[in-house]
Each structure stands twice: as structure tokens, then as C-alpha cells.
Chain A
């Protein structure tokens, strides 16, 4: 941890002479020393509380929430997991059918990951390694796609997919996702390929490997961390996406993704908020698990090419 070592050297000197105890420097040091912890505590509270509250409401009974909306914890006797069975079970048995939504989300998200990587890996390799005509223009094009507002793209894609009759299908949505993500994905992967020394590939070439075999045997295994990070990143985008899911799938409840399902049901007065909170937990937990499992990999990825939002 080179950075942490460096940060230690910036530590303030402990032996302040008495006459300088109330100098501007000493006062500022003391104030910021305290302020720092206040800020950290405040930020943690603000970032974590909504998620805590989400989990809390999902395991409380609705009548108790209405009786005491300000409670910050739940007593063991109050614990209530019926919300989860209610939100997961199918509408026929009185539930909200989130199991079906989860299946849809998973299908779209895994499909997007597979297809994006399949397309982006060769592309990223080409942009990083091979000198071809128009390489620079292609990179510029991909960057502008990354900055492009999705609301502007929503109009023509909505119209076109309506016209060819593919608007209500998961496959249609999947294709839209891939087209939106593939440019960012190439950008992230290219950055990683750039860091792999060419000499490794050269020695493989000397040993008689062709270009494809070099890619397959040398570059891909070396790029594995980046590929995994990129896959997780794509999964998160596809799992979280809302606008296109809304435009494409809203008419058919059996096709809803978890995001779309929660947003549609959140408007209804008949469904208890606690049940919908259970739905929110179901929507959020996969993302939190992925994020904490691969935090280091992902933060590097996020800085390289952050979510379009």
C-alpha cells in the first residue's frame, strides 16, 4: 500500500511548542481532526441508512409500521418474513410474482453479459493491439456513444422495435442493452489490454502462434481480472436498467424485470409498502453482494468507464 505509507508521512508533528498551541495551524489541525470524523459518520449515516431502512421495513408488519413509523429497529417477536413469501409467490396465489421478474431479469442480465463480452473482447483487443484503418475514428465513435443521452435513443428504438414487432420481447431488450453497453465495455477492456506487455505476445509469436491463438492462449488469460470485472459491471447495468425495460416490456406483466415490476407495483395502493420493501431488498441484494465481493476490481472499472446515468 504505497499510498498509505505516503499518507503517514503527512501526519502532523506531535510535539507542538506551548507558545504555538493556539496558532492558526494548531487550531485548524484540531478542528479538522474532529470535523473529519463528523463528516465520515454523517456520510456513512446518509449512505447506509436508506438501505437499512429498506431491510427494516421489509421485516416489520404493516400495522406496526403504521402504528409506530419512527421505530429504528425491530424486536425479535415482531419479526415477520411473510412479506418475502408474499412478494415472491405468483399472482394466482395472491402474491406479486417477483420470482418471475427475477427470472426475466436474470435472463436479460446474463444474456447481456455473455453477448457483450463475446462482441467486446475481440473488439477491445483489436483497438488495443492492431493497427487498422480508422482505429482512431472508431475509438472516438465509441466514446461519443458512451456520452450519448439514452432518452434521445429511446425514441427511435421504441418506434423501430414497435414497427418490427419485437418491442415486447426480452430478446429485443437484450439487443438494446448490448448496443448501449458494448462501447463502454470495449473502452474498459482496452485500457486493460494496453497494460499487458506486448513482449509476451511476441515470444508466443516466435514460438509459432498465430494471432488468434495468441489472443486465446496469452491475452485472454492475462486479462481475466478485467474480463470478470467487466462482466460484473455489465451485469449490474443490465440488472438495474429501467427506462428501456419500461418502454419495451410494460404491457406484459409476465415479461417484467424486477426493476420494472417494483416501479409498476409501487404506484398501487393495495399492495402493502412492507411487501414492496421486500421486493426492493430482492432487487438490491444481488447488486450489493456482487459489489462487496468484487469491490476492488469494480472501482477500477467504474473509474475507467462509469455507468451511463
Chain B
């Protein structure tokens, strides 16, 4: 992992047999000697504060969650019952898995994560290709496109809620005037909306699509950033050769650029999927989990705060994590060999 220039430094360090207190040399990291030993000690000392924090604030709490999930525990009896009881039971998992709305909530989470991730990456790819060549003001355009990602989520959701408001939101105002909508659309509070397109009647999950649109808006900059960086690393000669051979822009994208970008897209998909699958803030702040947008993380939150049932909240969180782990596992198994080839 360490990028150590081994060549060239050898002679300098060979002369280091001087009476200095402790001249150490990383380029000799593999050799066994008093210097490496003191380096090892220094390394452990320097890393230990972080290690302590991570172990006490992340690793142990997670192990503890597993214990909590098997115990009948609520915020009310927390003070009286011990932190490490042995009253283990499977009731929490039974309740969580058979609770009304769990299946629907899981499906919502899946749809939200897949569509949110997909649209964010497609949008990011389009953006990265559009600003690829230089033009005046490109630096500003690039920075502006990152704003949705860095802006505070509370402010962003609040503006969206105001814009999408049926009474005085600007989207509905112009939608009813310019786009000929019959009546304002309650984007965030309506579960479904009947649509008739080319004589076919069907209904769209309005609120769910709205939160997916928000997710795409908020996280496309992340994909944009990664893909832009990757595009810059594509050797210009590749594309030039394709152009000389008469490949049109579309063909050059399909056969030259896209294969170069695929590994990055694969990594982006998995990162974004993991985060979107667990994401809580966006949906909680936009809809509060109502109107058919109740994802599993909102259920965890509600178990924890509304009902104060620690056992149920832990079990629900574990179920969420387990499903995610399985999905990610399947994905890696399915796609990892292909990535290595490219």
C-alpha cells in the first residue's frame, strides 16, 4: 500500500550508521531490526487513540445491538433492567418480520435504492460527458453542479418541500399555468396519482417518485465527480485512433469510453446503493415516511423514538443490515469477475 521509492534511497540509508538517536528508514520496512521494532511501537502508539474511539464507539455498539435485538427491552425499563441481561428471546425478530407494512416497506426501500442509484449515476454520467471539453466558465459549472451534494440536507429538503407545495409551491404554480395540469399535484403527500397516457390508465406512486427525484438530484454530483476524474484519465490517443478509423461520437462512447468507465460505474453503483438503502434523512425530512415512502430505516427510527422499543429497533436495524449484506454479496459475486477483466 505504501508508495515508497525503494531505489536510490538505499545508499543514503546505508551511511546512516551514525550516532544519531534513532534514524529510521521506511524503505527497509521489511527487514527485521531494532529500527523496525521501534517503528512498530510508534505506529501502534500513534494509531491507538483512533483505534480506541472506533472500537468503543462503533465496533462494540454494533455487537451490543445484536444482544439488544434478542432482548425484550424498551426505553421505559432501560433504567431497571441491566445493560447485559440474559433474557434472550426471538420475539423481536418475529414481531418485526410479521409486522404489517414490513414487506411493503422493504419493497419501497428496494425501489427507492435501485431507482435512486440508477438515476443518479445516469445523470452524473451525462453531466460528466457534457462538461468534458473546455469552455469558458467550466470551473464554475463544475462547482455549481456539486452544490446539491454539499448543501445541508435539511435546507435542501425544506426548499424542495416548499417548491413542491400544492398551495404556493412554484412548481405547481407554473405547472398548472404552462404545462396545463388540471390541478396542483401534491407531490409529497399523495401516495398515487392516476395517469392516462395514450388511452392507457395507470397510477404512478407520486410521493415515491418525488423522493427518488430528490435522491437523484442530491447524489448525482457524487457520480459526476468520480466519472469526471475517470474521464480525465482516459488516454486521448484511444479516442483519436477511433476517430481516425471513422468512429462517430456515439460509437466512440459505446466502444471506447464506456468500457473505460464501467469499473468506476460498478464501484459507484455499490457505494450509492449501500448509502441509499440505509438513508434516513432525505425521506424523513421530505415526507416523514408517509404516502407510501416508508423505507426500513424510517421504521427503525419510529420503533426507537415513537414507541421507545429498543429491542424492536435493534432487530429491525439488523434485518436491514442483513438484507443489505446479502444483496451486496450477490452483486459482488455476480459482477466482481467481470470487473477484473476490464
List chain A positions with a Cβ less than 8 A from chain B. Answer: 3-4, 6-11, 24-25, 28-29, 32, 36, 39-40, 43-44, 46-48, 50-51, 53-54, 57, 65-66, 69-70, 119-120, 122-123, 125-133, 135-136, 138-139, 141-142, 145, 147-160, 162-163, 175-176, 178-180, 182-183, 186, 194-195, 197-199, 201-203, 205-208, 210-211, 236, 239-240, 242-243, 247, 258-260, 262-263, 266, 273, 276-277, 280-281, 283-284, 287-288, 291-292, 295, 298-299, 302-303, 306-309
Q: A287 contacts which of B54, B152, B159 (Cβ < 8 Å)?
A: B152
Q: Which of B8-16, B194-202, B331-339 contacts A (4 or more CB under 8 A)?
A: B8-16
Closest 10 CB pairs of A and B: A132-B43, A179-B57, A130-B43, A149-B278, A156-B61, A126-B46, A122-B46, A70-B173, A123-B50, A69-B168
Q: Which of B21-29, B100-108, B185-193, B204-212 contacts A (4 or more CB under 8 A)?
A: B21-29
Closest to B150 in A: A291
* B39 to A: closest C-beta gap in Å: 5
A153 touches B62 (CB 8 A): yes
SS class of chain B's interface: helix, strand, loop or mixed?
Answer: helix
Chain B 223-259 interface residues, beta-carbon cutoff 8 Å to A: 225-226, 229, 232, 236, 239-240, 243, 246, 248-250
Q: How far is the CA of A307 from the CA of B282 in the complex (A)?
A: 14
Interface string of B148-192 (1 = CB under 8 A from A): 111111111011111100011110011001000000000000000
Interface centre among B58, B75, B131 (most CB of A within 10 A): B58
Q: B240 contacts which of A10, A142, A288 (Cβ < 8 Å)?
A: A10
Residues on A with C-beta less than 8 A from B144 are 44, 47-48
Closest to B65 in A: A156
Chain B 1-46 interface residues, beta-carbon cutoff 8 Å to A: 1-5, 8-9, 12-13, 15-16, 18, 20-27, 29-30, 36, 38-46
Residues on B with C-beta less than 8 A from A162 are 75, 78
Interface centre among A28, A126, A291 (most CB of B within 10 A): A126
Closest to A69 in B: B168
> Within 8 Å of chain A (Cβ to Cβ): is B111?
no
Contact A130-B78, Cβ < 8 Å, known A6-B236, A152-B278, A309-B219: no
Number of residue pairs A-B, CB distance < 8 angstroms:
339
Q: B225 contacts which of A154, A195, A287, A299 (Cβ < 8 Å)?
A: A299
Q: How far is the CA of A64 from the CA of B130 in the complex (A)?
A: 39
Residues on B with C-beta less than 8 A from A243 are 280-281
> Within 8 Å of chain A (Cβ to Cβ): is B114?
no
B163 touches A53 (CB 8 A): yes
* A269 to B: closest C-beta gap in Å: 12
Residues on A with C-beta less than 8 A from B59 are 141
Number of B residues near A (Cβ < 8 Å) is: 127
A182 touches B240 (CB 8 A): no
User: Can you name 19 A-B pairs with beta carbons within 8 Å?
Assistant: A4-B134, A28-B249, A53-B162, A54-B155, A69-B168, A119-B50, A138-B51, A142-B54, A151-B280, A175-B57, A194-B2, A211-B22, A240-B151, A240-B152, A247-B305, A259-B154, A288-B151, A303-B226, A306-B225
* B60 to A: closest C-beta gap in Å: 8
Residues on B with C-beta less than 8 A from A309 are 153, 219, 275, 279, 281
* A135 to B: closest C-beta gap in Å: 7
Residues on B with C-beta less than 8 A from A53 are 159, 162-163, 170
B40 touches A306 (CB 8 A): no
Q: How far is the CA of A11 from the CA of B173 in the complex (A)?
A: 43
B9 touches A179 (CB 8 A): no
Interface centre among A69, A133, A163 (most CB of B within 10 A): A69
A205 touches B23 (CB 8 A): yes
Q: A198 contacts which of B9, B133, B168, B275 (Cβ < 8 Å)?
A: B9
Residues on B with C-beta less than 8 A from A262 are 154-155, 158
Contact A7-B236, Cβ < 8 Å, known A276-B158, A277-B162: yes
Q: How far is the CA of A30 from the CA of B20 in the complex (A)?
A: 69
Residues on B with C-beta less than 8 A from A3 are 232
Residues on B with C-beta less than 8 A from A210 are 21-22
Q: How far is the CA of A120 from the CA of B53 in the complex (A)?
A: 11
Residues on B with C-beta less than 8 A from A47 are 144-145, 147-148, 217, 221
Q: B1 contacts which of A28, A139, A239, A259 (Cβ < 8 Å)?
A: A139
SS class of chain A's interface: helix, strand, loop or mixed?
Answer: helix
> Within 8 Å of chain A (Cβ to Cβ): is B320?
yes
> Within 8 Å of chain A (Cβ to Cβ): is B261?
no
Contact A10-B68, Cβ < 8 Å, known A182-B50, A239-B152: no
Contact A198-B5, Cβ < 8 Å, known A10-B239, A131-B29, A132-B40: yes
Interface centre among A51, A247, A277 (most CB of B within 10 A): A51
Interface centre among B50, B145, B277, B278 (most CB of A within 10 A): B50
Interface string of B289-333 (1 = CB under 8 A from A): 000000001001100110000100110011011001000000000
B16 touches A206 (CB 8 A): yes
Q: How far is the CA of A127 from the CA of B221 in the complex (A)?
A: 30
Q: List 18 additional contacts besides A6-B236, A176-B57, A259-B153; criterion CB under 8 Å.
A: A47-B147, A47-B148, A50-B163, A53-B162, A54-B159, A126-B42, A130-B46, A145-B58, A155-B65, A155-B317, A160-B61, A162-B78, A179-B58, A182-B54, A240-B151, A240-B152, A288-B147, A299-B142
